[in-house]
A and B are shown apart, each in its own frame.
Chain A
Amino acid sequence: MTNLTTSFAGKVNSKLVLDPTLVVEKEGRYFLLNKDLKSVARQDFFYAGKYLGKMKKGKFFPSFNLLAMLAEAEANKVVVDEKAAWLFICGRDILSERITAVHGSRRKGDFTLVLNGFGECLGFGRILHDLSSKDINAAIRNVSDVGDFLRRER
């Protein structure tokens, strides 16, 4: 079960490894427990501990909890300005000129976490153009952002 999270972590160049004895799967959704929870949680739970993400049609969709954990350590990250942060959580892509810092990969096709100026993870995206080049077009394609919490409620 931890293969999925480790594999996703690898996509953003993170070395995050979770204790496999504390990761549990429930109907395609993955959760990270702690020792206290593990001693209390029964198999018929609906939600437990930290939600890590879900498998859907063979593809892993990371949760925002997992993205935040990845953002705490070394990983591919871009920091964006206030305007881009707002547009990103509205589901928009990110322009090169709005990126204020890049950590890790700048390579086209790689995945990267997207952070605001406070270092908070807003989601993740895919690098569309080499970030070393000065391109005013969209540089990061939005894959998932925290605005999803609002979209889920519609």
Chain B
Amino acid sequence: MSGKQFFVNRYEKMGWNFNEAKARQAIRVNVANAKEKNILRRLRSNGVLLDKTPFLETGYWVRRSRVSVGATAEYLLGLYSIQEAAAQIPATLFSDVKGKLVLDACAAPGGKTVQLADFMDNTGVIVALDVDKRRLSALANHLERCHVSNTVVYNRDARQASGLKLNFDRILLDVPCSGNFASDRDWFARRTLKDVKRNAGLQREILAEAAKCLTDDGEIVYSTCSLEPEENELNMHWATKNLGFTIEEVDCHGQKGLTNVLGQQLDVSVERCRRVWPGETQGFFVCKLKKRRNDK
């Protein structure tokens, strides 16, 4: 069970007509380091033309650029980050992060870690984990470049987060996933349903671990850049049935989560998730979870 036609058929059964989308390059202004209007003016004078991303407060699409946006002085000084537009959504869903203890459980290469630090104005503490030691250098460079000062990074598997003996107010689970064709042109040739199911299993283990180290009033934001329901709606349905989570309403870009997936009826609350089909952005899925009151 693999190949382009197999997956495209699945997407059509989920209500989306396949098209060869390619995500637009996007940036996010690091407002802790710079005034947004000043950065926009400086980039414009360097020949970088931007379009405001309508669903993001500090996100912009790169319309046209004379220079590489990853090699300007403003980028090297940490005044903005290159971050795909849909990938900027998860960190915006937490109700409040200033002064909080935040876990970024699968942090490398650090785009969302830096975004969280920016929203936190470098207050509180972010604990950033990644299991892949080779990716930690990229994370460290990102933190240094953007002058992040409230983060501690460990080379640690998210499935061992409770070993830190900390209770987190906010947990970002941008979990390892199968990805999607809009950001990987060889996706259909490389991926099988077996991969998807293996990743879904790993994601459930990470969710279960996060449940152990979340404060009673805490919030989890779960996200993937996968289009596959096993890694998205089915996992959220599972989390409500097995981990005592409720799915919270979110006000963000995207369509409602699917409650009938390939013939399987899911909890009605799964529609509070948001699914982003590829278009101007890559494919994405996001969901906000809290502990159910009677489980506290």
Contact = CB atoms under 8 A, between A and B. Distances in A.
A30 to B, nearest CB: 12
A48 B71 CA distance: 26
A36 to B, nearest CB: 5
Contact of B73 (A41, A65, A86): A86
Interface string B272-287: 0000000000000000
Given A40-B166, A46-B155, A149-B145, A51 B124 contact: no
Nearest to A63: B144
A89 B150 CA distance: 27
Interface residues of B, number: 29
Contacts of B144: 51, 63-65, 149
B125 A47 contact: no
Interface string B124-152: 11010000000011111101110101111
Interface residues of A, number: 31
Contacts of A65: 144, 147, 149
B151 A47 contact: yes
Nearest to A122: B73
Interface of A is mostly: mixed
Contacts of A44: 154
A5 to B, nearest CB: 15
A146 B154 contact: no
A45 B152 contact: yes
B73 A146 contact: yes
B1 interface: no
B150 A37 contact: yes
Given A40-B152, A65-B147, A149-B145, A47 B136 contact: yes
Nearest to B138: A153
Given A46-B140, A116-B73, A68 B150 contact: no
B149 A150 contact: no
A36 B151 contact: no
Contacts of B125: 36-37, 40
B155 to A, nearest CB: 5
A41 B149 contact: no
Interface string A24-65: 000000001010110011101111111100000000000111
What 6 A-B pairs are tightest by C-beta distance, nearest first?
A: A47-B153, A146-B76, A48-B152, A50-B149, A47-B140, A41-B152
Given A36-B125, A49-B150, A149-B76, 13 more contacts: A32-B149, A45-B153, A46-B140, A47-B140, A48-B152, A49-B149, A49-B152, A50-B147, A51-B140, A89-B73, A116-B73, A150-B70, A150-B76
11 contacts: A34-B149, A37-B150, A45-B153, A46-B136, A47-B140, A47-B151, A51-B144, A64-B144, A120-B73, A122-B73, A149-B141
Interface of B: 70-71, 73, 76-77, 101, 123-125, 127, 136-141, 143-145, 147, 149-155, 164, 166
